[in-house]
């Protein structure tokens, strides 16, 4: 059974810092891994999708890496801004097209 | 492209009534849709997998008679919470599989906040 864990659970940083969010999964037989952002009381916004055959994806200040063999993915946020404050979720696409979500990292960027 | 529309975004209902949530794929055919539930400060938990034209597959611990799922067409899946109770208050969100898991992944609806009073 796939289990997805995210560390840290919460993070508070001053504006401008570069930061790394971690995601680990127990079953390396994934189809892809996706990072989402969720604002309070809102739905999900897809940030980056990494195919199982890829090592990383980049979008603006965001970079996500994937290491299937070690069961890890990281989301790197450069030059953080207060607008980046949200909960970040990773989700592993594994088995019959289902997504298993991580526990989330609540990020607060202080102005 | 690849938009999933979910309605309503918020609903408040009285205990004992039923609530229907709709999830529509607007510009693609979704053979498979997924329904998730999120309790406050927790992550999303998969409730069931909905396949067009067949019965939904429910995850362990999810009551199929309470959470009725219908996927009658390739663009519409509905989740009906029957005889809702306050403990059913949660954030429900659907996801559609876009038919090519290697490159397109999944797209999510905007979610429905259900409050049972």
User: For B43, which of A42, A96, A103 is closest by C-beta distance?
Assistant: A103
Q: How far is CA A71 from its chain centroid? A: 13
Q: How far off is chain B from A100, nearest CA to CA, in Å?
A: 7
Q: How far is CA B58 from its chain centroid? A: 12
Say whether residue B93 is in contact with chain A using an 8 A CB cutoff. yes
Average pLDDT of span A33-50: 88
Q: Give the tens place of pLDDT for each residue, A43-65.
A: 788 899 898 899 999 999 999 99
Say whether residue B95 is in contact with chain A using an 8 A CB cutoff. yes
Assess whether pLDDT exceeds 70 at residue B79.
Answer: yes
Indicate the pairing of strand A62-67 with strand A10-14.
Answer: unpaired
**CB half-sphere exposure, A110, CA atoms < 13 A:** 4
Residue B34's H or E segment, with its range, is strand B32-38
Cβ B105 vs Cβ A49: under 8 Å: yes
Cβ A33 vs Cβ A50: under 8 Å: yes
Contacts of B72 (CB under 8 A, 6+ apart): B52, B53
Assess whether pLDDT exceeds 50 at residue B102.
Answer: no
pLDDT band at B104 (very low <50, low <70, confident <90, very high): low
Query: Which one has a higher pLDDT value, B68 or A96?
Result: B68
Average pLDDT of every residue of chain A: 92
pLDDT band at A16 (very low <50, low <70, confident <90, very high): very high
Assess whether pLDDT exceeds 70 at residue B31.
Answer: yes
Token output for B44: 């999303």
Distances (CA, A) of A80 to A21, A57, A87, A110, B61: 12, 18, 14, 9, 40
d(CA B66, CA B4): 24
Comparing alpha-carbon positions, the chain B residue that sits nearest to A92 is: B105
């Amino acid at each position: 059974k796939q289990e997805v864990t995210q560390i840290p659970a919460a993070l508070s940083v001053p504006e401008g810092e570069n930061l790394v969010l971690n995601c680990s999964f127990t079953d390396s037989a994934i189809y892809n891994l996706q990072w989402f952002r969720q604002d309070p009381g809102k739905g999900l916004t897809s940030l980056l999708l990494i195919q199982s055959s890829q090592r990383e994806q980049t979008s603006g200040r965001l970079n996500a890496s994937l290491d299937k063999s070690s069961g890890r993915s990281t989301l790197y946020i450069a030059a953080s801004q207060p607008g980046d404050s949200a909960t970040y979720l990773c989700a592993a696409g594994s088995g019959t097209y289902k997504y298993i979500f991580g526990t989330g990292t609540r990020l607060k960027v202080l102005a | 492209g690849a938009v999933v529309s979910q309605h309503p975004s918020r609903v408040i209902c009285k205990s004992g009534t039923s609530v229907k949530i709709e999830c529509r794929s607007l510009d693609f055919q979704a053979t498979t849709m997924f329904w998730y539930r999120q309790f406050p400060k927790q992550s999303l938990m998969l409730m069931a997998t909905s396949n067009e034209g067949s019965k939904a597959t429910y995850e362990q611990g999810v009551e199929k008679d309470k959470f009725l799922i219908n996927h009658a067409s390739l663009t519409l899946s509905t989740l009906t919470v029957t005889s809702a109770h306050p403990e059913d208050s949660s954030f429900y969100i659907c996801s559609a599989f876009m038919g090519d898991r290697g490159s397109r992944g999944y797209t999510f609806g905007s979610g429905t906040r259900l409050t049972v009073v």
